[in-house]
Structure 1
Amino acid sequence: MKIFSAQQIKNCDTFTIKHEPVYSLNLMQRVADSCVNWISNNFKDKEIFYIFCGNGNNGGGGLALARIMYHKGFDITVFINESENFSKDAMSNLMKVKQIARIDVFDFNETQNFNFKENAVIIDALFGTGLNRKANKKEVDLINFLNRVKLSKVAIDMPSGLSADHMINDNTVIFKADETLSFQFWKKTFLHPETGIYCGKVHLLDISLSEEFIVKEPTNEFVIGKKLIRGIYKIRNEFSHKGTYGKTTIIAGSFGEMGAAVLATKSALKSGSGLTFIVAPKCGYGILQTTCPEAKYIDGGENSNYHFDINNDSVVGIGPSLGTAPETESAFMDFLKSCDKPMVLDADALNIIAKNSQFLKKIPTNSIITPHPKEFERLFGKTDNSFKRLELGREKAMELGIYIVLKDHHTQIITPENQVYYNITGNSGMAKGGSGDALLGIITSLLAQNYSPKDAAIFGVWLHGKAGDLAAEKFSKEAMLPTDLIDELGNVFKSLA
């Protein structure tokens, strides 16, 4: 699914109005209808709604929403800014609302002394994506007040005060929603931690915007959806054998930290690797043979890995709890210099490379690195926020010719072609040691199965998150473990097949 800027979304609205054709007022009605359907299905226990409407098209949609909800039997109160001019369509809907005697209409100034009833819902239809100025004092005071009211809150289009495309300033005041009803598209700010926190749970509502515009309009930013994943996923040929699905070699583990090697190996096995090898120190031999009997063990040293005996036709994933002992660093750098095939790098492999910026240039072209924010910082430098971190990641992916899987709540896959794919599977239950080790194993296995580096990264991150969602449903976010995630990979593949 494409991510468009606020201007592109506005252009899509305009194109739809012109080429469908449809009156702008009727498009506003579609917005309202889609919101009413969602609200009716999700707030069946609520009867009272307070709708705060701006003077532009978002407010016009809120006024249309107020009218339709009233006719469906809800108790509706509307708040507006009487002192500002309304857009043509917003004014048309305001006149229709004022003709309904049972809908009370108040000015924003009356909010402070208003008696809000319990078990009601506040609906924010103030700005949407259309705000191209700073909120004035009256609007800022209103948003601050509404954020203090202890009621369920729904934002229409996006939380008022939030930009669709950019990081917020420190002093920006933003409506804090529990649910956000967005139309047709994800906005970029929904997907970053500093701004997404204001959105609550995001729901995409289809308002039948022009498919022709959506297909033709260019963008370099996407959300990973089921349609994309189904296009990537390769159904297994019945006349295949273990050699068909590649050789995966995991290089991981050190004394006292063999769990990471187990998790990476198990996830590689569970995600389809034909033949799986694990290079690990002798101290972990018994653990690995017991927990991962399907994998072939290769001796990497005594208590740490310092000699890598790798098959030339194997795809390597390296780093989980590898350690940074001098002999390991030396052996790893010699190995890196001798390789020209794409590999997957994580954890201590990245920490070793971070010690010298010249080491970055030794990473083979089309390799995949999977840093969390701190590892990214050690590799490429500190940034002020996740938006700037993403931009730096794009520069480095193009410069080095590699794929960067930038782990976050909505992990970003950055390609050398300057594309970004945001993942929306996964949950906070995966914020546990070992989750990243599982991801390395999954991506390496997919790369070994002849998925392209781009597809392996996208599919691997989505699989990892989807399995995490199934594990959270079964065990809870608090109690789920990375091993539970790995065990759910089979159910994810079954859902695709």
Structure 2
Amino acid sequence: MLPLLISSQVREADAWTIKNEPISSINLMERASKAFVGWFINHFPERNERVSVYCGTGNNGGDGLAIARMLHQHKYQHVSVKVIRFSERSTTDFDANLQRLQDCGINIITLNKGDAPPAEDSSIIIDALLGSGLNKPLEGDYKTLVDHLNGLEKTVVAVDVPTGFFADGEVPQDATVLHADLVITFQQAKINFLLPESKNYIACWESVNIGISEEYTHSLNSAYQYIEEKDIRKILKHRTRFSNKGTYGHALIIAGEARTMGAALLSSAGAAYAGAGLTTACIPGSGLTALNSYLPELMAIIRDGDTLPKIDWDKFSSIAFGPGLGTDEKALELFAYVLANYKKPMVIDADGLNLLANNSTLWQAIPAGSILTPHVKEFDRLFGTHTNWWARLQTAKQQAAERNLYIVLKNDYTITATPEGKLYFNSSSNAAMATGGMGDVLTGILASLLAQGYTPQQACIAGVYIHGKAGDELALPNRMNVVLPGKLAQQLPVTMAKLMA
């Protein structure tokens, strides 16, 4: 796992590296700037491009000055620098880099308080104004300058963090932020890059390694972690010789109504294709023909009328409850029946979550270690309305710990909250997967992994990643604009085999 650090921890890690590598602070700045420039010149190779670097007088501005000098050394012909002196203070490393830049003969314009922004003929603006230390919204001259720059419609590349954007914590809804086409950030993504508020300000981001001690960052025990492919390779278990269908468990999917059988089919397919030895769907009788036609490998328990189905609970290694089930009295009675009889961790999704939100007495019967898989609206129905995603993170962390559950909050970077107070951000998936039924497949995958003997945490981390990775393998190489859930389910065995190779 890659630790995601809050701003104070980033400063701690920098200080530890300076002291223990050891390296001077200005040489660490030089290394960071070199990493930035290395990425920049590979993606903006035209040396005749006009580049303007806007620098504050703190360490982010010091990075900008070093970047301008290095671009000049790499033969960029039209590099200019705007030093923004809205504060009388400057850091020692900024001052040192300013002197180095002056020795190169690069054109430097100084903008003081109250000055009108200078004319701008560059096509690329490098934003090195404020960086990650921001702790309040922009106002005054900084706000005026950022509003001006946003109006120029230039390509903006931000150094570490766009000016005005909070690296962590609540992002104000009306924040003034310099909109970045690209952020080249140091060491790892900032947590707020992975939350939906960032889409208004950041088109894309790339992280560059600047040599901060990984051993030290892991020792900080951050609550926020970023899942990498190597983590999934460690979790997944190879199928072995002399195993059989019983080795890989029996998943029961309780889902679907007459008009919503698609949810039952997709979640059941997700379970089967993700490797459950046996998969049974508990469905209305009207859906049996569809089930047999869609995937004959699936078995069925029929729900008819007002009679609860007879279920041999001991047969099932895992249960998923909710997709397409409805929220009427029959569904509520069925949910209570399941919770009264099944005490292993289960997966609760869709209408299961809606029933839970509307019937608070059900909470106490949910088995410890169960997995809830809400999208944002379901999350807010369960836990109350939130005005921002940072607040949702804190609620997810608190609720998972208090209720001894796993909460999979679905999003671009789907977040798993654990009873231990950790939040794991997924690194796979893409926008082509934004289509109805995709969450049903994920529910089946999670139930399948539980059936196969994975712990709930392993099932969440690996299941969410595999789901996204299968979508990536379908969408990205083939340039597909839409990936359908049924196709993704069929891709799962291929994706898992690659990860286990």
TM-score where L is the length of structure 2: 0.94
In structure 2, what residue type is equivalent to 1:95? Q
Gaps of 5+ in 2: none
| Paired position in structure 2 for 1:98 | 102
What number of residue pairs does the alignment pair up? Answer: 494
Q: Following TM superposition, by how much is the alpha carbon of 1:280 offset from its aligned partner in structure 2, in angstroms?
A: 0.9
Kindly tell me: are residues 215 and 476 of structure 1, through their superposed partners in 2, closer, same or farther at Cα, counting changes over 3 Å? same
Give the match's secondary structure for 2:314.
Answer: coil
Pick from 461, 464, 477 the counterpart of residue 464 of structure 2: 461
Report Cα offsets for 1:139-169 as digits up to 9, x if no partner: 1111111112222111111111122221122
Q: Give the conservation status (yes or no) of the 8 Å contact 1:357–1:379.
A: no
Structure 2 Cα separation of the partners of residues 260 and 159 of structure 1: 41
Alignment of 1:128-147 (within 5 A): 128-132=131-135, 135-147=138-150
Q: Give matches, 1:83-482, under 5 Å.
A: 84-107=88-111, 112-117=117-122, 120-132=123-135, 135-195=138-198, 197-301=200-304, 306-307=308-309, 309-314=311-316, 315-474=318-477, 476=479, 478-482=481-485
Between the aligned partners of 1:82 and 1:385, the Cα distance in structure 2 is 33
Q: SS of the counterpart of 2:381?
A: helix
Q: AA paired with 1:43?
A: F
Match of 1:19 in 2: 20
Secondary structure of the corresponding residue to residue 248 of structure 1? strand
Q: Which amino acid in the other structure matches residue 161 of structure 2?
A: M
1:351-401 deviation line (CA, Å, top 9, x unaligned): 122221111111111110101111122222212222222222222212221
The equivalences for 1:3-14 within 5 A come to 3-14=4-15
- CA-CA distance at 1:313 after TM superposition: 3.6
- CA change 1:330–1:129 in 2 (3 A) is same
Distance 1:88 1:449 in 2: 58
Question: Which stretches in structure 1 are left out of the alignment for 5+ residues?
Answer: none
Residue 404 of structure 1: how far off its partner (Å): 0.7
- Whole-Å Cα distance in 1 between the matches of residues 220 and 229 of structure 2? 21
Distance 1:287 1:132 in 2: 56
Q: Which one is further off, 188-197 or 90-99?
A: 188-197
Q: Using the TM superposition, name which of 195-204 and 346-355 deviates more.
A: 195-204
CA contact (8 A) 2:183 2:205 kept: yes
Q: What's the CA shift for 1:44?
A: 2.1
Q: Is the 8 A contact 2:33 2:63 kept in 1?
A: yes
SS of corresponding position for 1:14: helix
Task: Tell me the amino acid that sits aligned with residue 431 of structure 2.
Answer: S
Q: CA deviation at 1:104?
A: 4.1
Aligned equivalent of 1:66: 68
Shift of 1:311: 4.0
Q: Counterparts of 1:191 and 1:308 in 2: how far apart (Å)?
A: 44
Which piece of structure 1 moves more, 146-155 or 53-62? 146-155
Q: 1:219 to 1:256 in 2, by over 3 A?
A: same
Moved more, 190-199 or 16-25: 190-199
The partner residue of 2:50 within 48, 51, 66 is 48
* Secondary structure of the structure 2 residue equivalent to 1:2: strand
Moved more, 458-467 or 319-328: 319-328
1:34 is displaced (CA, Å) by: 0.3
Q: Distance in 2 between matches of 1:379 and 1:169?
A: 24
Local SS of the residue matching 2:387: coil
The root-mean-square deviation of aligned C-alpha atoms, in Å, is 2.0
Kindly provide the amino acid, as one letter, of the partner of residue 52 in structure 2: Y
What is the DSSP-based 3-state SS (H/G/I as helix, E as strand, rest coil) of the residue aligned with 1:180? strand
Q: How far 1:136 moved relative to its partner? A: 4.8
Distance 1:491 1:473 in 2: 15
The AA in structure 2 aligned to 1:357 is S
* Range that drifts further, 137-146 or 78-87: 78-87
One-letter amino acid matched to 2:25: S
Instruction: From the superposition, tell whether residues 283 and 29 of structure 1 become closer, same or farther in structure 2 (CA, over 3 Å).
Output: same
Instruction: Give yes or no for contact 1:58–1:130 (8 Å, CA) kept in 2.
Output: no
Is the 8 Å Cα contact of residues 182 and 204 (structure 1) preserved in structure 2? Answer: yes
Number of the residue aligned with 1:80: 83
Alpha-carbon spacing, 1:477–1:389, altered in 2? closer, same or farther (3 Å): farther
Equivalent-residue separation in structure 2 for 1:123 and 1:483 (angstroms) = 44
Deviation of residue 186 (structure 1)? 2.1
Aligned-partner residue type, residue 444 of structure 2:
G
Q: 1:476 to 1:309 in 2, by over 3 A?
A: farther
CA contact 2:150–2:178 (8 Å) conserved in 1: yes
One-letter amino acid of the counterpart of residue 97, structure 2: N
Q: Distance in 1 between matches of 2:149 and 2:494?
A: 43
Question: Does the 8 A contact of 1:430 with 1:477 survive in 2?
Answer: no
With 270-279 and 325-334 compared, the bigger mean Cα shift is at 325-334
Counterpart CA distance in 2 for 1:238 and 1:33 is: 51
> What is the aligned-residue identity percentage?
37
User: Equivalents in 1 of 2:491, 2:148: separation in Å?
Assistant: 44
Query: Residue 113 of structure 1: CA displacement?
Result: 4.3
CA separation in 1, counterparts of 2:458 and 2:310?
27
TM-score by length of 1: 0.95
Residue deviations 1:439-459 (CA, integer Å, cap 9, x gap): 100110011111100110111
Q: 1:45 deviation in Å? A: 4.0
The verdict on how the C-alpha distance between 1:475 and 1:136 changes in structure 2, with shifts beyond 3 A counting, is: same
Residues 146 and 176 in structure 2, CA contact (< 8 A), matched pair in contact too:
yes
- Provide the rounded CA distance (Å) in 1 between the counterparts of 2:313 and 2:46: 62
Runs of 4+ in 1 over 4 A off after TM superposition: 108-111, 474-477
Following superposition, the deviation at residue 306 of structure 1 comes to 4.2
